[in-house]
Structure 1
């Protein structure tokens, strides 16, 4: 027994000694715990090999001693054992641990967003250069089990939509967390929208410090949906963007309304102005009517916490006038602001007539106004900063016009009332905007009793807070007020062949806004700076590409906006197909030699124009967020019809909508017939015929679609209201004949006429309209391709006739005809080489100008007629090179244009004749393209 114990003891000693003599890796290989390896931090230990009681100082690094047994007295000789160079200890990355101290990974920090409160510069975002270089500015993490799936997406440009009325952006910069199951779906969005990182937060020197800020604007919200049965889905959405300061305790403030920034609260507010004006100044009557005004000022004793409310009578020195009112016309019982006139009520707390509480102790200012008619109420204060210097109080109309301070619109009258029947009491508080909240519910159904439907109701709350430096410094809540606006819409449709029906009703209040104000790093907000200090929940992106149409902070300007003009989906406008970011081309294809045969002018486009501004709705580019319906609209649209055959459809409908803020309306009854059929062995026939009876006084401005001219800002086209009481007939007939092999014969006819029913019709600016305005266009083009051995020839002929009369009386009509004759030849000369040559002759005639009248009047000018000749030859070869398909083109194009002019006969002074002025253009080129196929 003793022997056995002895053997066991000896074995244990041997094992212990062996273990003690082996290399100790410390915690680098982890600690074994119950079959799992843990890597949590252990703290520094004691190296027993360094416990010798020697006076000599220890200089050997612990890592070199442990791994290589180095001694500081050893002689370095690399004759037998070659020198091993130093390597970067972080070549495989750094060690990272989670919030619990667990080892996460060894690698590289890609993205890190942290916020500490209360703490200066408490919001920090780090974004490594590897985020762009390795991951193309987006990382996606996720997991799934059974029906449950989730993903966490971090990116600079995430295309994100919750609902069209609450949040829709093509380039969301932030974090998106998504969850999905068979019955439930949810999304959470978060972003520091005041200073998101686009690119990298690392400097050129490789410094890995995050970009930190104290004053921030944060976005947080999301959407959840759940399925009710098999056919109905319910959803809820909430989005909030609020200002904040990391010096404040997050939970001592208002998580929804946010807080004021340091820049807004460093100085006391000493002046407030309320501006009342005419909401429809163009009519010159029935503007804002001010019957009475009152104010309540609340001050706080910060030692006792007691608050005291002062009325207007209590804060005015006896015998003095305060507030000071400028502008307005005195009427019986009220003050009026008609047309461009303004009523400006100044509350200057530094005015000697003011004897109320000190501005440093004021915590809220509440107004009580009695107003009527078509009013608009705006407010201003000396803490309400803009792009220009703040004017000194008091404000006058002249000061506002010259200094253009940043005004915030608070209330507007509904309709355009001019008879005081909307007399009402308006109570509101002054405050600086701190947050914008949008939330609502959706209801969607599919196949419910044969109907498909979608409905959405949303509420917008805009939060304001009165600035007070003492409250801010103590981290206490400010007085919060809010303004509320609602929006809703409902769509329903049913298909029961051959019948169909569709209806939509909507109401979007004018003040409904998905726009939040952004603070900068020092806590300032410029309320009139849309490019730097506005954040949009719903962007203006009419062409639905990856770039918003307007300029906002963090986004680039989209200079190529062409809604509906990219039917081949190549991200290039179909009217300028050979234009791209690398090889710019500013000439539209319908004006370019040889290309003009296939491309027709945009005037020949047709479609639905329910807002009656003489432009097809789906081609419109405006400056509004992409809501399903425009703000300040309330109404419905209903249509139904039947399929007369699989190719023919008849539709009858009515649109009835109104502007909530004005007396404008749109009542349009319409009938629509469409036919589209391919005839075997013959071709395709298309017919579009729409008749409208329109009474439309709602202006719908748009941007001119000219992406090919490279304009910084596309020109604004005002709606002249051409259909205020009008019959509008639009017809299009197209027939593409392809009954003969190699022959293509295309024919297009468009005819549109506006017939006014009013006597003495006027446009939106008061100019007289013609009783009838029309457009007639006819295009015929034919080409035939045939071969002569290896030579392919294609003659082309195109005739284009256009006649247009103006809406406004006295403006010039337009009538022109163009004939284009082309001959294209293509000859392969080797396996991959082709020579292509072409000849084009163009004749253009302006049929409005009369050359005989110009000659009789002796007017030396162009007649509008011209002719041009273009000759081109091109050698094209393709070859494989280094994995690419190279296409090399060498060629020449020569063009000569003859412009007809009225000139004086040199041989007969005083006698005028027509002559031609020539202009030559020569283009030579050698071009190499590298393709992948």
Structure 2
């Protein structure tokens, strides 16, 4: 039987072979077979996914896929020139701008990442970037860690996060700025001791030069030979108005290439420009204080213009100066750009740029040490001219936890490199240091602590290009994506990110949010330091992410107090809680140009009671200001189980502080915005130095009480009283006796009553605050707000609710009393009814609401215009729900 089966199988096989042989001889190009998807998955065409075979540079097949990222560097003219970065459309659409390769071996984990917004931190004084756009390599074992980064920071190819792309994006540059760096940390002594080392370098490259000519010191810009070098003298402390720069004379000596020889040539200024306010003495000029240009306060200045001979390779200046001087430099040069199809010669102008206030395109090269006013520092100051081509920061950090001691610190050295802007131009550099050390020790019931710190005035962690018109071809402005460009950008190593969110405060992001409206509307945009305690990337006073702060929005304002009621430490003595300051400065742990010490002792006799006393002694290294303070604090944190808690702190401090610490805030424009609602402008405030010699009492009391279930009563008081003592200061200024007071009070209560599917929630809140100054004889801010609310919910089904809200009633309206400007006092009523449903679908959470709202607001001021409107609304929200 088996023989017959075997012969049958052979016969069938031969017939099949014969069929194939016969078929292969036909001129028919092939017959398609029937396709059925009853049991097989449908295969879609890959028309939207460019999938191709991919090979490595040695010709080995890797995979079938698509191009994601390419970075190539050429330092020759053939086959290509420049720095080329390509980001494929799938880098944006599929991979969401982040690609990670990882592996492990022998207990060591390795990751290699390419991304457009990677949080990268080495140490607080060396590198802290909110959104690194480049590549990074990480290696970690049980006790050792290492990170390396690389980025073309001048042209990183940013993509708009809110758009999908139908093509690959390429940026090719033959010059720009690179960032590279590395950080290592290791643990010893059973993990009690950690030590690390950091190296960070940012340098300007030119791919048209040979590799050996591109060093980590960087190279100067092409086609930027100076026609004129400008030297400006100003008062280093213009706010005091006296003892500014005294300039006796200045001259320059240029080294000029003449064939094979270099000759010296003395250069005198061709022009001297004196601003308003310059005082001419018998043998010197004086620039003290400030003058007004429109709304700006601009330092008085003396400006010298030096023409530069052709073929100059070095220039050194020598100035005889005295008192509190600041010397700044810049240059003017011509270069050619292509406009349309024609060449156009452009001259670098002196248009002010956005930067430190005021916005001047000058680079500070020398500052007087301290705030000298008696000519005691008269002498010659020498400096060479050059463009900033690179900077390097290197240092060590450590942390020790042993026998109750906790030490943490770092020491760093910073080098800035300059070059006269020709190929063989002379090079120069400056260097400065920054360090800090903190130590605490628990000796129950005491804790002692100390910190010492110093950040030099020349310590620099950003590549400042503004003074020199650094690029002759336009660059993407850091806070824009693609569209708007400029010639002078700043590339920081330590971001300004006061609110520690996903965007740095200098708006280095992937789309334009540089408008007051966008500050609040964009996801996680805006600067709200200290006001995101739940870390959801949105300010706690704008949880619904609209353009109205919650303390001014119906129903939400019950839960949120205005920022005036926030309390915390204020070590820089400008009446703003330190954790809430937006200062437009790098996020160093201490201020630049300051050196000082802080010592404190804490005594805790009871678990809920502690006393602290301490002293702060800070002085500016170049600025000459001081911040000396002694303080004492009592703190109570007492909890009654099931009934509530009491939190109280009172601090008294004796202050002598003449260091200005300006800040920025989002300021309410009352009566502005849509339908009279809040409109906020990002506004700068000057520190008026109201604690140059003061005795300050400040504190906060909060009482939370729950007498019965579901009844909450909360009362809080914040106060700050600044007694300014009559004083005559060494700089010749004086301070009359005065007093500045703030007091604010919040009282609120809410109750929740539930019966079957009904929930009723009455709430009432009243807050009042006042700012006053004794010399003004009346308060300059005095406001009281009454907020009565009734909320009711009815549960129709598990996922559907009918909700009703009333804020303000016919006999008890929502009231705002503005006793300083009564026109802005008003009565208001708000009514909302809506149907709300929440559905879960395939891992998505979908919430929709349909309803009607009516608002009526009646201002006491006749010219403001009342609000009386109704609206019908339908809204749908979608998000990803948790999957378990």
State the TM-score bracket (shorter-chain normalisation): 0.7 to 0.9
Q: How does 1:152-191 map to 2 (within 5 A)?
A: 152-191=112-151
Shift in Å, 1:611: 1.0
Structure 1 counterpart of 2:178: 218
Shift in Å, 1:553: 7.9
Q: How does 1:367-382 map to 2 (within 5 A)?
A: 367-382=317-332
Is the 1:548–1:555 Cα contact (8 Å) retained in structure 2? Answer: no
Higher share in strand: 2
* Cα deviation code 1:328-380 (max 9, x no counterpart): 6554654443345533333224xxxxxxxx513x2111223332211111122
SS in 2 for 1:109: coil
SS in 2 for 1:187: strand
Question: Does residue 876 in structure 1 map to residue 836 in structure 2?
Answer: yes
* Aligned equivalents of 1:291, 1:651: Cα separation in 2: 52
Shift in Å, 1:106: 4.9
Is the 2:608–2:638 Cα contact (8 Å) retained in structure 1? Answer: yes
Unaligned runs of 5+ in 2: 1-19, 36-44, 290-298, 338-344, 353-357, 479-484, 520-525
Q: Which of 310, 313, 317 lines up with 1:359 in the alignment?
A: 310
Question: Does residue 542 in structure 1 map to residue 498 in structure 2?
Answer: yes
Structure-2 change in CA distance of 1:871 and 1:133 (3 Å): closer
SS in 2 for 1:570: coil
Is the 2:473–2:487 Cα contact (8 Å) retained in structure 1? Answer: no
Shift in Å, 1:846: 3.5
Structure 2 counterpart of 1:506: 453
Larger Rg: 1
Q: How does 1:725-736 map to 2 (within 5 A)?
A: 725-736=693-704
Question: Does residue 295 in structure 1 map to residue 252 in structure 2?
Answer: yes
Structure 1 counterpart of 2:532: 566
Question: Does residue 483 in structure 1 map to residue 430 in structure 2?
Answer: yes
Question: Does residue 926 in structure 1 map to residue 884 in structure 2?
Answer: no
Question: Does residue 344 in structure 1 map to residue 303 in structure 2?
Answer: yes
Q: How does 1:135-146 map to 2 (within 5 A)?
A: 135-146=95-106
Shift in Å, 1:557: 3.9
Is the 1:274–1:378 Cα contact (8 Å) retained in structure 2? Answer: yes
TM-score, normalisation: structure 1: 0.77
Structure 1 counterpart of 2:342: none
SS in 1 for 2:159: coil
Q: How does 1:786-801 map to 2 (within 5 A)?
A: 786-801=753-768
Is the 1:153–1:176 Cα contact (8 Å) retained in structure 2? Answer: yes
Structure 1 counterpart of 2:416: 462
Is the 1:534–1:553 Cα contact (8 Å) retained in structure 2? Answer: no
Structure 2 counterpart of 1:50: none
Structure-2 change in CA distance of 1:332 and 1:458 (3 Å): farther
SS in 2 for 1:669: strand
* Aligned equivalents of 2:541, 2:581: Cα separation in 1: 15
Give the paired residue count: 795
SS in 2 for 1:460: strand
Question: Does residue 192 in structure 1 map to residue 139 in structure 2?
Answer: no
Q: Greater CA deviation, 106-115 or 652-661? A: 106-115
Question: Does residue 803 in structure 1 map to residue 758 in structure 2?
Answer: no
Q: Which of 791, 798, 802 lines up with 1:824 in the alignment?
A: 791
Is the 2:232–2:304 Cα contact (8 Å) retained in structure 1? Answer: yes
Shift in Å, 1:624: 0.5
Shift in Å, 1:535: 0.7
SS in 1 for 2:712: strand
SS in 2 for 1:805: strand
* Aligned equivalents of 2:318, 2:279: Cα separation in 1: 21
SS in 2 for 1:131: helix
SS in 2 for 1:418: coil
Structure-2 change in CA distance of 1:194 and 1:811 (3 Å): farther
Q: Greater CA deviation, 713-722 or 376-385? A: 376-385
Is the 2:470–2:487 Cα contact (8 Å) retained in structure 1? Answer: no
* Cα deviation code 1:608-650 (max 9, x no counterpart): 1111111111111111110111112111222111222222221
Structure 2 counterpart of 1:913: none
SS in 1 for 2:92: helix
Structure-2 change in CA distance of 1:209 and 1:811 (3 Å): same
Q: How does 1:53-72 map to 2 (within 5 A)?
A: none
Shift in Å, 1:802: 2.7
SS in 2 for 1:704: strand
Is the 1:131–1:200 Cα contact (8 Å) retained in structure 2? Answer: no
* Cα deviation code 1:294-327 (max 9, x no counterpart): 433223345xxx4424152xx7xxxxx6665454
* Aligned equivalents of 2:734, 2:826: Cα separation in 1: 34
Unaligned runs of 5+ in 1: 1-66, 316-320, 350-357, 398-402, 850-860, 904-915
SS in 2 for 1:656: strand
Is the 1:611–1:666 Cα contact (8 Å) retained in structure 2? Answer: yes
SS in 1 for 2:682: coil
Shift in Å, 1:256: 1.7
* Aligned equivalents of 1:576, 1:209: Cα separation in 2: 36
* Aligned equivalents of 2:255, 2:689: Cα separation in 1: 49
Q: CA RMSD in A?
A: 4.1
Question: Does residue 592 in structure 1 map to residue 546 in structure 2?
Answer: no
Structure-2 change in CA distance of 1:883 and 1:220 (3 Å): closer
Structure-2 change in CA distance of 1:101 and 1:366 (3 Å): farther
Q: How does 1:419-430 map to 2 (within 5 A)?
A: 419-430=374-385
Structure-2 change in CA distance of 1:481 and 1:553 (3 Å): farther
* Aligned equivalents of 1:324, 1:840: Cα separation in 2: 68
Structure-2 change in CA distance of 1:739 and 1:213 (3 Å): same
Q: How does 1:610-625 map to 2 (within 5 A)?
A: 610-625=571-586
Is the 1:112–1:125 Cα contact (8 Å) retained in structure 2? Answer: yes
Question: Does residue 115 in structure 1 map to residue 53 in structure 2?
Answer: no
Structure-2 change in CA distance of 1:459 and 1:370 (3 Å): farther
